[in-house]
Chain A
């Protein structure tokens, strides 16, 4: 990727709701056309940061610089950001067209210009012909598409998405991820995405910021975070992980980085084999106590049975800070 300029710079952002709630001294920047995900369990402060960028949380201190302008003191209606919420995004008493025209009317666009812009956005989210429908007549996925289109039609400099797909069922959620990625690519958008779903974060992000209790534990590409978790929390939160201790030191092994070898004098026992579609998961009992999770291809799994004695080989061990 070529060197792109910084779109958003957050420095020293602090927002406290109470002593233990909120975020403190957050520093992060987002590049032009980048999709950054704030990932973490609920209460970690990811939504707090997003709402601070959108102007819905007044921050205690720090700076938010978007396109070179400080925006932290502006009210939301003056910020060039567009936000999509988890649910109840669309105004129920307005049609899809009216929902999308609302912001344009405030900006005093002409009728013909408005129509053109709305049609273009509806094409982008693949919802042409839905102009006259009311939100109540659309499915959850359709509503979120319109919500994204409604935000985009105002040409925001930065799109903020607050768990936009978490109210949708698993299959639609998968489709929407792909859609969002496509829309982002086609429209050249800079996006900050908030989610608690690590799989979703891995799938769509250019970079992920993993958050815990108001701090960012690690910021990096999905591969980087998956392969080199910097803390135990990140190792545990992203993907599946086995934790082992050897010689007083703890390290982690991904289930797919373990190979099992059948052996009559093997020191591990297979407790359970479970087919998870395209791969198989084995639960293995270790000699020192505790269980290991092992992933393997279906073809390999056919060689094993529950109760087999096996040896486990760790192909890749990871260490991390406490």
Chain B
């Protein structure tokens, strides 16, 4: 027994590396950004940085553009990935097995490569255009340098991601849940709404918030595929830093974007913390 010494500092030691990293790269930069956002270039206190974004038409347009883009991406990605996950879970066909192995592939392709690949297909002189020209059809999709381009590229990344989350959730829906519902005389529509949905809807919310959050701060895809105006908030922020070298305004915009994301975080945490009556005591 005496070999088993009490080491009260042990837990702290184990937490220390992670905590130090978090302090250095998350907490301090946030505090620094918040402080900067309330100051002028020579260190005076000011609200002007915030005033600029809250009254600027350009910033408002960017906000609306970003929200619409984020919601569209989220909705489309959720619908497609939920259908895909349902198919992968409940179909036992060979095609389903093949898709089951392939669907995560996009996650392993470097982002920039994928974006250029998608661009090469959808741009006005891209694959779609050239392929149709073989049949004498001159069609310009008009998808690139537009919100549609951003959404399409984001779907490429987000459908596999949320399909993965939803597949994990659906694997908790036992075959016998579905089979006993059928046995009770239930058709597929009701099985989906009364049996499957109540068991997985939390994970649907989680996946949806992840996608939404990602869109608020998205940069690479909108930078390469989006329009010049209006632009996503991420691009606006990039301009404040790299074009106008206005670090204080950039800080204020960062804080504002952080607050928007906080809304998503609240939804995420709430739905994660909320314990259904049926899960109590498990």
Contact bitstring B175-188, A, C-beta under 8 A = 1, else 0: 01101111111110
Closest residue of B by beta carbon distance from A54: B183
Closest residue of B by beta carbon distance from A92: B278
CA distance A107 to B174 in the complex (A): 24
Residue A103 lies at the interface, judged by CB distance under 8 Å to chain B: yes
Asked if B281 and A91 sit within 8 Å, CB to CB, the answer is: no
Nearest CB in chain A: distance from B81 CB, A: 22
Residue B192 lies at the interface, judged by CB distance under 8 Å to chain A: no
Contact bitstring A115-153, B, C-beta under 8 A = 1, else 0: 000000000000000000011110000000001001100
Residue B199 lies at the interface, judged by CB distance under 8 Å to chain A: yes
Total A-B Cβ pairs within 8 A: 71
Q: B177: which A residues are within 8 A, CB to CB?
A: 88, 91-92
Of A78-86, A223-231, A251-259, A295-303, the segment with at least 4 beta carbons within 8 Å of chain B is A78-86
Q: Identify the interface centre among A77, A78, A85: most chain B CB within 10 Å of its CB.
A: A77
Asked if B190 and A106 sit within 8 Å, CB to CB, the answer is: yes
Asked if B183 and A76 sit within 8 Å, CB to CB, the answer is: yes
Asked if B184 and A102 sit within 8 Å, CB to CB, the answer is: yes
Q: B186: which A residues are within 8 A, CB to CB?
A: 77, 102-103, 106
CA distance A88 to B183 in the complex (A): 14
Asked if A106 and B176 sit within 8 Å, CB to CB, the answer is: no
Closest residue of B by beta carbon distance from A102: B184
Q: Identify the interface centre among B179, B186, B194, B282: most chain A CB within 10 Å of its CB.
A: B179
Nearest CB in chain A: distance from B279 CB, A: 7
| Tier of interface size on chain B | 20 to 34
Residue A11 lies at the interface, judged by CB distance under 8 Å to chain B: no
Asked if A89 and B278 sit within 8 Å, CB to CB, the answer is: no
Asked if B277 and A134 sit within 8 Å, CB to CB, the answer is: yes
Asked if B179 and A85 sit within 8 Å, CB to CB, the answer is: yes
Closest residue of B by beta carbon distance from A156: B183
CA distance A150 to B177 in the complex (A): 13
A147-199, CB < 8 A from B: 147, 150-151, 154
Q: How many residues belonging to A are interface residues under a CB distance threshold of 8 Å?
A: 32
Nearest CB in chain B: distance from A156 CB, A: 9
CA distance A5 to B1 in the complex (A): 73
Q: B195: which A residues are within 8 A, CB to CB?
A: 91
Q: A88: which B residues are within 8 A, CB to CB?
A: 174, 176-177
Nearest CB in chain B: distance from A114 CB, A: 13
Q: Identify the interface centre among B278, B280, B281: most chain A CB within 10 Å of its CB.
A: B278
- The contact of B181 among A54, A87, A102, by CB within 8 Å, is A102
CA distance A86 to B183 in the complex (A): 15
Q: B174: which A residues are within 8 A, CB to CB?
A: 88
CA distance A106 to B183 in the complex (A): 12
Residue A278 lies at the interface, judged by CB distance under 8 Å to chain B: no
- The contact of B180 among A55, A75, A85, by CB within 8 Å, is A85
Closest residue of B by beta carbon distance from A90: B180
Residue A94 lies at the interface, judged by CB distance under 8 Å to chain B: yes
CA distance A95 to B176 in the complex (A): 17
Asked if B187 and A77 sit within 8 Å, CB to CB, the answer is: yes
Nearest CB in chain B: distance from A160 CB, A: 9
Contact status of A93 and B278, CB under 8 A, knowing A87-B176, A88-B176:
yes
CA distance A180 to B180 in the complex (A): 19
Asked if A93 and B276 sit within 8 Å, CB to CB, the answer is: yes
Residue B8 lies at the interface, judged by CB distance under 8 Å to chain A: no
Residue B11 lies at the interface, judged by CB distance under 8 Å to chain A: no
CA distance A103 to B184 in the complex (A): 5
Q: A92: which B residues are within 8 A, CB to CB?
A: 177, 199, 278
- The contact of B185 among A107, A134, A150, by CB within 8 Å, is A107
CA distance A124 to B190 in the complex (A): 29
Q: A94: which B residues are within 8 A, CB to CB?
A: 278
Contact status of A75 and B199, CB under 8 A, knowing A88-B176, A88-B177, A89-B176:
no
Contact bitstring B124-151, A, C-beta under 8 A = 1, else 0: 0000000000000000000000000000
Residue A56 lies at the interface, judged by CB distance under 8 Å to chain B: yes
Asked if A83 and B190 sit within 8 Å, CB to CB, the answer is: no
CA distance A89 to B181 in the complex (A): 10
Q: A75: which B residues are within 8 A, CB to CB?
A: 182
Q: B185: which A residues are within 8 A, CB to CB?
A: 77-78, 103, 106-107, 154
CA distance A107 to B185 in the complex (A): 8
B166-222, CB < 8 A from A: 174, 176-177, 179-187, 190, 194-195, 198-199
Asked if B278 and A77 sit within 8 Å, CB to CB, the answer is: no
Asked if B179 and A136 sit within 8 Å, CB to CB, the answer is: no
Asked if B179 and A83 sit within 8 Å, CB to CB, the answer is: yes
Contact status of A85 and B279, CB under 8 A, knowing A102-B181, A106-B186, A154-B185:
no
- The contact of B183 among A87, A107, A137, A151, by CB within 8 Å, is A151
Asked if B282 and A91 sit within 8 Å, CB to CB, the answer is: no
Q: B277: which A residues are within 8 A, CB to CB?
A: 134
Closest residue of A by beta carbon distance from B282: A136
A93-111, CB < 8 A from B: 93-95, 102-103, 106-107
Q: B184: which A residues are within 8 A, CB to CB?
A: 77, 102-103, 106, 150, 154
Show 13 residue pairs from A and B whose CB-CB distance is below 8 angstroms, ordered by the A residue.
Answer: A56-B182, A76-B179, A77-B187, A81-B183, A88-B176, A92-B278, A93-B276, A94-B278, A102-B194, A103-B186, A106-B185, A136-B282, A151-B183
List chain B positions with a Cβ less than 8 A from chain A.
174, 176-177, 179-187, 190, 194-195, 198-199, 276-282
9 nearest CB pairs, A to B = A103-B184, A88-B174, A85-B176, A134-B278, A76-B182, A93-B198, A88-B176, A77-B185, A83-B183
Besides the contacts A83-B183, A106-B186, what 5 more A-B pairs have beta carbons closer than 8 Å?
A76-B183, A78-B185, A147-B180, A150-B184, A151-B183
